[in-house]
Amino acid sequence: MTRPEPPAPWAHLPFFHDTWPALWQRLEAAPPWAPAPDRLFRALALTPPAAVRVVILGQDPYHTPGRATGLAFAFPPGTPPRDSLRNILIEAAADTGATPNPELTGWARQGVLLLNTVLSVPLGQAHGHKGWGWEALTEQVLHHLAATGPRAFLLWGAPAQRLCRALPRNGHLFVESAHPSPLSARRGFFGSRPFSAANRWLAARGQAEIDWSA
């Protein structure tokens, strides 16, 4: 396998010089994992730093073969949404009337960064690459975004909220709720209305709203 190159607008982050070469060697020697190598940095490639307006954090990719797309929570074309994504789509419809495409590329192209905390996962083993070094990239992305302009952070669940605890609060929007997983969606995700909250904040700043139906 050829080591994927970082998307140019993000290549300045220390992760790509300090951590990525050794992490790639470890991935090359590991059992099958997802997503495909050319999709590892897909979220960053679709949404460069200057375009980011909203940040949504996932945990790690789907570990079911063929399901991980490189975008947090997204499903591949032709695959009926389940689990967390199904609940996200339910809340988007209730909140804004939107009927999003489960691929979520329309969100990414409008400036919604759909970033997992860990960008790879062994097939059939959730969280199997946790602690391998991906977390350094996520932290660097978040701190870079927080330092370079106002953003809306939609933080679903305690892990995402912990990751953003050290970010400066001034100028940004933070919308926190329970995670959309089937185990917790009814404990505060449903009814949290994160999509309309982000759009109100964007509109107040004179920016175009996100078309959550895209």
pLDDT tens track of the chain, all 214 residues?
Answer: 899 999 999 999 999 999 999 999 999 999 999 999 999 999 999 999 999 999 999 999 999 999 999 999 999 999 999 999 999 999 999 999 999 999 999 999 999 999 999 999 999 999 999 999 999 999 999 999 999 999 999 999 999 999 999 999 999 999 999 999 999 999 999 999 999 999 999 999 999 999 999 9
> Residue 209: its pLDDT value, please?
98
Radius of gyration for the chain, computed over Cα atoms and rounded to the nearest angstrom: 16
Q: In what order do the strands lie in the sheet with 173-177?
A: 112-116, 54-58, 152-156, 173-177
Longest dimension (CA), the chain: 49
> Residue 1: its pLDDT value, please?
82
Report whether 175 contacts 83 (CB < 8 A): no
Alpha-carbon span 169 to 175, nearest angstrom? 12
- Among 84, 168, 154, 83, which residue's Cα sits nearest to residue 115? 154
Report whether 161 contacts 182 (CB < 8 A): no
Alpha-carbon span 74 to 192, nearest angstrom? 20
For residue 18, indicate whether it is catalytic.
no
Out of 18, 60, 83, 95, which one is annotated catalytic?
60
User: Three-class SS of residue 117?
Assistant: coil
Alpha-carbon span 97 to 99, nearest angstrom? 7
